[in-house]
Amino acid sequence: MTTSHVSDEPAAPLTSSITLAITGMTCASCAARIERRLNKVSGVEASVNFAMESATVAFTAPATVAQLIDEIAAAGYGATLPPEPVESTVDGAEAAEPVDRVDVALIALRRRLVLSGLLTTPVLVLAMLPPLQFEHWQWLSLTLASPVVVWGGMPFHRAAAKNLRHATATMDTLISMGVTAAYLWSVWALFLGEAGMPGMRMEFTLFPEPGAGSEEIYLEIAAALVVFILLGRYLEAQAKRRSGSALRALLELGAKDVAVLRPGQVGEVRIPIDALAVGDRFVVRPGEKVATDGVVVEGTSAIDAALLTGEPVPVEVAPGDAVTGATVNAGGRLVVEATRVGTDTKLAQIARLVVDAQSGKAAVQRLADRLSAVFVPVVIALAVGTAGFWVGATGDVVTAFTAAVAVLIIACPCALGLATPTALLVGTGRGAQLGILIKGPEVLESTRKVDTIVLDKTGTVTTGRMTLVDVVPAADTDSAEALRLAGALEHASEHPIAAAIATGARALTGDLADVVDFSNVPGRGVTGTVDGRRVLAGRASWLTAQDIDLPIELADAVDEAESAGRTAVTIGWDGRARAVCVVSDTLKPTSAEAITQLRQLGLTPVLLTGDNRRAAAEVARGLGIDDVVAEVLPEDKVAVVQRLQREGRVVAMVGDGVNDAAALAQADLGLAMGTGTDAAIEASDLTLVRGDLRAAADAIRLARRTLSTIKGNLFWALAYNVAAIPLAASGRLNPLVAGAAMAFSSVFVVSNSLRLRRFAAWSQQVP
């Protein structure tokens, strides 16, 4: 688990937490400015995410939502509580699909891009192809370019003006300054210079030529810059929407209505899902989604949880089994009693974890924010310095102007601001699809450093359920007959070992016979009459105390089972022991494969359990684990993790029970099985929804891949600026090319992040 710096002053508890939708942000500098403003408010801790256009704010009672919104407005931006989906109506009928604010913004941006592009195309063609430059062509260019500069570039100009009122600067300031400078120079050259003369000709060059003087116009640069930047913004918006598709799909998984069975009413009543309450019983037909978390009370079926957990194999359920909301009933009719509804369901908890992870910031993101906050003022100073240098060195105002505009345009830090949040958005969304929940972005750093993984035994590498694994009959006894009688007797008991024998017997022999005169001797065994026979089942020593003869082969079977850490139940009747039923908590089928995968990631596995040494050693042998710590009390699990940390190891811990929660919190990286307790999940950094240990390896791989993508994005964003700014300042870069390069850098960062959508779990990879 990662820790954050804590000041010497005691902090007031944060009592409220909200997420605000932010409007008007155009780059990471905007996000950093809003974040600084909010964090200056007493009792407020805020994190602003540029990619998600949101602010996550925790605050104490003295602060109010209205105050927070006012602070954001004072910084020049808009803020609202995220609206509920608004459904349009036609003639009083509700529409099927809610209005999506992001879709509306995309449509408006696309309209502005298309119209600006249509007007700019002839301006570019005329400027770049001298044979097409007819007499007075420059005035047509002015007519076509003006709407693009004014209306097409209005979002940049409006944001720049707002920034100016607040004495700040952002990427929009750079764009607006560059576009406006190119346009105003062209207007001056046309009306007051020589560019407006009939027969004026101009050739396009990648590298500006000094000494062109007042006959040069830059209308194609002004208009094309607007189009390039709009195109970059549109592609970014589309990519961000695609990157959030996993979360939207997750949130849309739940059922919309449900058929409930009301006491005293005949038949089913269909109600909205919001009206369902804990304790209600509802019907799930084949093919329908389970409306909410609950327990099966009637029927048997197979539940397909692939959309929620990524696990393709349906799970068989029967009365008493728990089911999760949003999973699909693939078989027969079920009646389920609701145990959790609304925001308490597993689906809602998963969605919250994903949103929290996407809203937070990793260490690399905080570094990028700090760089972006000072980058824009530095770039403006560089542009002014560039212009001053060229005027002083050559006296050529045109060369100075083009170099300054190129610096303004190419240095926009948009790619830098998108590098981290976009990769985090895609990575956590993909994780949710695979049943891997990353609680926070700081987890990414932890996964890179981990070298040891501590594994709880029961429920993590084993099924956590007692299972009948073997029946050893005496020489003159049929094993099927012994199991049939044992299963009938044990069916009358509620002990987990008895249930394992009864389940195994039912699977092999079908229906179980009835038992009469059943008696339970706690800690020793049970007895009863089955088919006229008095049958005993329990410890071998108890049976011999009841004058039951124990054959040597069965005594050896008991010793062998107990040496392997298993439980041996001896069955006898008619004065003689007839068989030994061996019961054990078995390994999950995928655990050995998972250990191999973890080793491939450079992790050393350690098995940690409160079970006896023989049982632990048997499990470790089956998994190929050399380091075993057994017979550990719950409170001692923390001490084991601490000891490993003192040895210099960076420790990950995988567990599922309440007794694992403290160790999960102590570990440098905590992974909770999604099939485990809420306490374990709450204490962990990563949650493995499907309860498959292979997901631990996939989770670490995904987190490392996401971190690698973030670092790659930051490298290329910074390398682009470092390489391009000197080139632009040297006067060797046309501002038009600079604008195209700047837009491409942002698109590259987003596209690189989207590659995480193709991340596949090891189990999904084709050999």
| Range ranked top by mean pLDDT from 208-217, 303-312, 494-503, 758-767 | 494-503
- pTM check: above 0.85: no
Q: Give the tens place of pLDDT for each residue, 424-449.
A: 778 877 887 888 887 766 677 778 78
Report residue 258 CA to chain centroid gap: 28
Q: Which CATH architecture describes the domain 16-86? A: 2-Layer Sandwich (3.30)
Separation in Å, CA 735 to CA 295, 362, 410, 436, 765: 65, 34, 8, 45, 46
The backbone region for 504, taken as left when phi is positive above 0, alpha when psi lies in -120 to 50, beta otherwise, is alpha
Mean pLDDT of 78-87: 61
Dump pLDDT digits (tens) for 598-632.
999 999 999 988 777 777 888 888 888 999 988 77
Among candidate residues 571, 558, 562, the one with its CA nearest the CA of residue 527 = 571
Q: What is the pLDDT of residue 120?
A: 92
Distances (CA, A) of 325 to 340, 357, 682: 9, 22, 20
Q: What is the largest CA-CA distance in the chain?
A: 123
Does 633 score more than 80 pLDDT? no
Q: What is the mean pLDDT of residues 516-545?
A: 88
Quick count: other Cβ atoms within 10 Å of Cβ 234?
18
State how far the Cα of 417 lies from the Cα of 209, in Å rounded to an integer. 34
Q: Domain spanning 437-462+588-695 has what CATH number?
A: 3.40.50.1000
Calculate Rg over the CA atoms of the chain: 35
Domain 463-587 carries which CATH code?
3.40.1110.10
Determine contact, residues 663/636, Cβ cutoff 8 Å.
no
Tally of residues, the chain:
767
Give the model's confidence band at 83: pLDDT under 50 very low, under 70 low, under 90 confident, else very high: low
Residue 657: what pLDDT?
Answer: 61
274 catalytic residue (yes or no): no
Look at the domain 257-288+293-339 and name its fold.
2.70.150
Average pLDDT over residues 519-530: 84
Contact 672, 689 (CB under 8 A): no
Through-space distance between the first and last CA atoms of the chain, rounded to whole angstroms: 35
User: Cα separation of 506 and 715, whole Å?
Assistant: 62
* Per-residue model confidence as pLDDT tens digits over 554-610: 999 998 888 777 888 999 999 999 999 998 878 888 889 999 999 999 999 999 887
| Mean pLDDT of all residues in 137-154 | 94
CB atoms within 10 A of CB 279: 10
The enclosing H or E element of 766 equals none
5 pLDDT above the threshold of 50: no
DSSP 131: G
Q: Distance of CA 90 to CAs 93, 94, 103, Å?
A: 5, 7, 20
Helix and strand tally (H, E) in the chain?
25, 28
What does the pLDDT read at residue 99? 42
Residue type, 223: A
Is the pLDDT higher at 190 or at 250?
190
Alpha helices in 514-581 (DSSP H): 540-545, 552-563
Average pLDDT for the chain: 79
What's the burial of 432, exposed, middle or buried (CB within 10 Å: 0-12/13-18/19+)? buried
How far is 651 from 671, CA to CA, in rounded Å?
Answer: 11
pLDDT at 87: 37
The secondary structure of 689-753, three-state, reads CCCCCHHHHHHHHHHHHHHHHHHHHHHHHHHHHHHHHHHHHCCCCCHHHHHHHHHHHHHHHHHHH
Q: Tell me, what amino acid is at 438?
A: I
* pLDDT for 295: 94
Exposed e or buried b for every residue in 311-339, given b needs 16+ CB within 10 A?
beebbebeeebebbbbbbbbbeebbbebe
Judge whether 410 and 733 are in contact, CB under 8 Å: yes
Confidence (pLDDT) at 336:
95
Q: What is the structure's pLDDT at 335?
A: 93
Residue 28 has pLDDT above 50, yes or no: yes
Whether 469 shows a pLDDT value over 80: the answer reads yes
pLDDT at res. 597: 92
| Lowest pLDDT segment from 23-32, 41-50, 90-99, 705-714 | 90-99
Residue-level pLDDT at 675: 66
Work out the pLDDT band at 21, boundaries 50, 70, 90: confident
Q: Confidence class of residue 639 from pLDDT cuts 50, 70 and 90?
A: confident
Look at the block and give the residue holding tokens 């926009």.
412
The pLDDT of 23-29, averaged and rounded, is 74
Q: What is the pLDDT of residue 27?
A: 67
- Strand ranges inside 36-106, DSSP E: 44-49, 54-59, 78-80, 86-90, 93-99
DSSP-based helix, strand, coil % in the chain, nearest 5:
50, 20, 30
Q: Residue 146 has what pLDDT?
A: 96
pLDDT band at 54 (very low <50, low <70, confident <90, very high): confident
Residue range 121-144, pLDDT digits in tens = 999 888 878 888 898 899 999 999
**Number of neighbouring beta carbons within 10 Å of residue 136:** 13
> What three-state secondary structure class fits 203?
coil
Q: What are phi and psi of 555, to 5 degrees?
A: -60, -40
Average pLDDT over every residue of 305-311: 53
Q: What is the pLDDT of residue 338?
A: 94
Question: Which pLDDT score is estimated for 472?
Answer: 92
**What is the SS3 assignment for 195?**
coil
| Token pair recorded at residue 44 | 């407020």
The rounded distance, in Å, linking the Cα atoms of 598 and 499 is 34
Q: Which pLDDT does position 61 carry in this prediction?
A: 64
pLDDT value of position 584:
83
Q: Is 446 within 8 Å of 2 (Cβ atoms)?
A: yes
**Predicted confidence (pLDDT) at residue 676 exceeds the cutoff of 80:** no
Domain boundaries, the chain: 16-86, 104-244+358-424+713-755, 257-288+293-339, 437-462+588-695, 463-587
Q: Taking 70 as the threshold, does the pLDDT of residue 53 lie above it?
A: yes
Tokens at 410, concatenated: 């190419």
List 568's β-bridge partners, or say none: 582
Model pLDDT, residue 6 = 33
> How far is Cα 500 from Cα 463, in angstroms, rounded to an integer?
13
135 is written with which tokens? 């007499």
Question: DSSP secondary structure string, 400-446?
Answer: HHHHHHHHHHHT-THHHHHHHHHHHHHHHHHHHHTTEEE--THHHHH
Within 8 A by CB and 6+ apart from 229, the residues are 156, 175, 739, 742, 743
CA 259 – CA 336 distance, rounded (Å): 11
Sheet of 525-530: strand order equals 462-473, 576-587, 567-573, 533-538, 525-530, 515-521
Residue 271 CA to residue 280 CA, distance in Å, equals 11
The band of 3, judged by pLDDT with boundaries at 50, 70 and 90, is very low
Mean local confidence (pLDDT), 337-363: 69
Whether the per-residue pLDDT at 359 is higher than 90: the answer is: no
Q: Are 210 and 394 in contact (CB under 8 A)?
A: yes
How many whole angstroms separate alpha carbon 394 and alpha carbon 211? 9
CB 616 within 8 A of CB 607: yes
pLDDT value, residue 579: 94
Mean pLDDT, residues 337-349 taken together: 83
Residue 18: both structure tokens together: 């909200």
Share of the chain above pLDDT 90, in %: 17
Of 304, 369, 396, 456, catalytic: 456
Predicted local distance difference test score (pLDDT) of residue 297: 94
577 closest CA partner among 473, 708, 483: 473
Strand 567-573 vs strand 533-538: parallel, antiparallel, or unpaired? antiparallel
Query: 476 pLDDT exceeds 80?
Result: yes
Percent of the chain with pLDDT over 70: 78
